[in-house]
Amino acid sequence: MPKKKHDQKFETLLIHAGEPPDASTGAVAPILVRSKTYSQKTFGKESRWQYSRGTNPTRSQLEEKLAILEGDGEATVFGSGVAAEASFFLTLNPGDHILACEEVYGGTYRLLDKLISRFGITFDFVNFQNKKEILKYIKNNTKYLFVETPTNPSLHIIDLKLVNEISKESGIPYVADMTFSPPITTRAFEYGAETVIHSLSKYIAGHNDVLGGAVITKNKKLHENLIFMQRTLGAILSPDECYRTLQEVKTLALRWEKVSKSALLVAEYLYKHPKIESVFYPGLKSHSNHKVAKDQMKNGFGGVISFITKNSKKNSLRKFVKSLQEHNIIYGESLASPETLLAYPPLMSHMALPKNVRLSMGIKDGFFRLSLGFEDVGDVLNGLKTSLKKL
Ligand SMILES: Cc1ncc(COP(=O)(O)O)c(C=O)c1O
């Protein structure tokens, strides 16, 4: 796509970026190329397409599109968000150190703690709200600052301007997992990030039918390393998943607007409800980092709310969840889908943590995470109203 077209508005890029009608057929929907191998024209001359673990036309199209949507850099896509993260971390060398924000996604923590650490790469987790604290933990061998915003599951907001300031002062690049802030709301490159990671499985694809991940980077050497990782580690995204993501991302702006509106209404309702102890939603004025969120998140604050119920007795929680299920709220893992999803981190994403560690992170026994879908929000509110009576 010619460069000047990238100046168009984000909603236009969502539809057209990287996807001109097919030159030979005029097809408007992407061409799905499932071929594993390619006929090579000339002996001794390298072909553009050779073997789909290395490169695949549908995958390349998605990679081009994601980089345009992020506003810069070059993308590589992988078979899941954690596969993207693993491929990124494995570009580091033994002896390298990563300084990460305190509340990273549980799977990221497990990846670093149980796998990446085996390769001689070390890491620390610190509170990324305080510059002095962060600077204290930077070592000579720190290769990256690693942040996630809003954090999962407590929806803390990391101030990317602050991270950029620290990155500039220390000369250490930062990488941002923007799974909870897709580019319709925040483009981390505009805040100085060198590299952006996404689980495509959430907002980018957004229909509960794709598992995928992406790394988009401005660092050319890192990008070459990631291409090497695709070919060598092979944790690539299949052409079918690339095709679905290309199609599904087109509605990102519409979906983001819908779920952000619904989530704000639900958050306001829960905030006033006598059976609720606390509500975490960046769009609420009561959120500890609302000011930063307002500056950093455009077009709404997303569809995810976390809340803590006052009553956390197992029996009552069971009745609460059963009643919500009867109102079409799905009890399950993950977020960002047509279906409203209710997750319970103490028995899901954070089950592996010792109880005292989980509690120290504020994930109490009554902690739930709700991801608003595309249903009528009145129906969701009705479901909550009836179900909260069970507590
Ligand atoms: C912030 C964040 N990063 C990465 C991942 C991992 O993505 P995936 O499930 O696609 O492997 C998740 C999954 O929930 C996540 O929430």
More confident residue, 7 or 292: 292
1 within a domain of the structure (yes/no): no
Q: Within this chain, do residues 240 and 259 fall inside the same structural domain, yes or no? A: no
Q: Which atom of ligand 1 is nearest to the CA of 151?
A: 1
Residue 188: the pLDDT is 98
Looking at the predicted structure, is the pLDDT value of residue 244 above 70?
A: yes
Q: Which atom of ligand 1 is nearest to the CA of 211?
A: 10
Q: Rounded to the nearest whole angstrom, what is the distance from the C-alpha of residue 37 to the centroid of ligand 1? A: 30
DSSP for 87-105 reads HHHTTS-TT-EEEEESS--
Please say which residue of 251, 283, 313 terminates a domain. 251
d(CA 250, CA 352): 36
**Tokens coding 296:** 């950093």
Under 8 Å between Cβ of 19 and 30: yes
Of the pLDDT bands very low, low, confident and very high (cuts 50, 70, 90), residue 92 is very high
2 within a domain of the structure (yes/no): no
Looking at the predicted structure, is the pLDDT value of residue 207 above 70?
A: yes
Q: Rounded to the nearest whole angstrom, what is the distance from the C-alpha of residue 82 to the centroid of ligand 1? A: 6
- Beta pairing, strands 341-343 & 97-101: unpaired
Residue of 82, 178, 337, 349 to mutate, ligand 1, most atoms within 8 A of C-beta: 82
Q: Within this chain, do residues 128 and 276 fall inside the same structural domain, yes or no? A: no
**DSSP 8-state assignment for residue 236:** B
**DSSP 8-state assignment for residue 362:** T
Looking at the predicted structure, is the pLDDT value of residue 301 above 80?
A: yes
Q: Which atom of ligand 1 is nearest to the CA of 83?
A: 11
d(CA 92, CA 180): 25
Looking at the predicted structure, is the pLDDT value of residue 351 above 90?
A: no
Stretch 221-229: mean pLDDT: 98
Stretch 62-84: mean pLDDT: 98
Outline where DSSP puts E strands in the chain. 74-78, 97-101, 122-126, 142-148, 174-177, 195-199, 213-217, 276-280, 304-309, 330-331, 341-343, 367-371
Residue 2: the pLDDT is 45
Q: Rounded to the nearest whole angstrom, what is the distance from the C-alpha of residue 88 to the centroid of ligand 1? A: 14
**Which CATH number do you get for residue 62?**
3.40.640.10
Angle between helices 377-388 and 252-272 (to 10 degrees): 30
Segment 130-156, tens digit of pLDDT: 899 899 999 999 999 999 999 999 999
3 within a domain of the structure (yes/no): no
Residue 352: the pLDDT is 74
- Minimum CA distance residue for ligand 1 atom 8: 81
Q: Within this chain, do residues 206 and 219 fall inside the same structural domain, yes or no? A: yes
Percent over 70 (pLDDT), the chain: 99
Residue 350: the pLDDT is 83
Q: Within this chain, do residues 49 and 138 fall inside the same structural domain, yes or no? A: yes
Q: Rounded to the nearest whole angstrom, what is the distance from the C-alpha of residue 385 to the centroid of ligand 1? A: 30
Percent over 90 (pLDDT), the chain: 93
Residue 5: the pLDDT is 57
Q: Rounded to the nearest whole angstrom, what is the distance from the C-alpha of residue 81 to the centroid of ligand 1? A: 5
Looking at the predicted structure, is the pLDDT value of residue 246 above 90?
A: yes
Residue 106: the pLDDT is 87
Of the pLDDT bands very low, low, confident and very high (cuts 50, 70, 90), residue 7 is confident
Q: Within this chain, do residues 166 and 287 fall inside the same structural domain, yes or no? A: no
| 213 pocket-lining for ligand 1 (C-beta < 6 Å) | yes
DSSP for 139-152 reads -TTEEEEEEESS-T
Q: Rounded to the nearest whole angstrom, what is the distance from the C-alpha of residue 23 to the centroid of ligand 1? A: 36
DSSP for 50-83 reads -BTTT--HHHHHHHHHHHHHHTSSEEEEESSHHH
| 205 pocket-lining for ligand 1 (C-beta < 6 Å) | no
| 201 pocket-lining for ligand 1 (C-beta < 6 Å) | yes
| 54 pocket-lining for ligand 1 (C-beta < 6 Å) | no
d(CA 158, CA 62): 28
Domain count, the chain: 2
**Which CATH number do you get for residue 288?**
3.90.1150.10
Stretch 12-35: mean pLDDT: 96
Residue 328: the pLDDT is 97
Q: Within this chain, do residues 371 and 280 fall inside the same structural domain, yes or no? A: yes
Domain of residue 309: give its range.
Answer: 252-388
Looking at the predicted structure, is the pLDDT value of residue 3 above 70?
A: no
Residue 1: the pLDDT is 44
- Minimum CA distance residue for ligand 1 atom 11: 81
Residue of 195, 202, 215 to mutate, ligand 1, most atoms within 8 A of C-beta: 202
Q: Within this chain, do residues 33 and 77 fall inside the same structural domain, yes or no? A: yes
283-287, Cβ contacts within 8 angstroms, sequence gap of 24 or more: 287/155, 287/157
Q: Within this chain, do residues 287 and 181 fall inside the same structural domain, yes or no? A: no
SS3 (DSSP) at 244: helix
SS3 (DSSP) at 23: coil
- Minimum CA distance residue for ligand 1 atom 10: 81
Q: Within this chain, do residues 90 and 48 fall inside the same structural domain, yes or no? A: yes
Q: Rounded to the nearest whole angstrom, what is the distance from the C-alpha of residue 177 to the centroid of ligand 1? A: 9
DSSP-assigned beta bridge partners for residue 178? none
Under 8 Å between Cβ of 106 and 349: yes
**DSSP 8-state assignment for residue 350:** T
Given the structure tokens 């930077």, which residue do they identify?
138
Average pLDDT, the chain: 96
Q: Within this chain, do residues 214 and 269 fall inside the same structural domain, yes or no? A: no
Please say which residue of 213, 236, 251 terminates a domain. 251
Q: Rounded to the nearest whole angstrom, what is the distance from the C-alpha of residue 103 to the centroid of ligand 1? A: 13
Given the structure tokens 């001794």, which residue do they identify?
44
**Cα dihedral across residues 107, 109, 110, 114: positive or negative:** positive
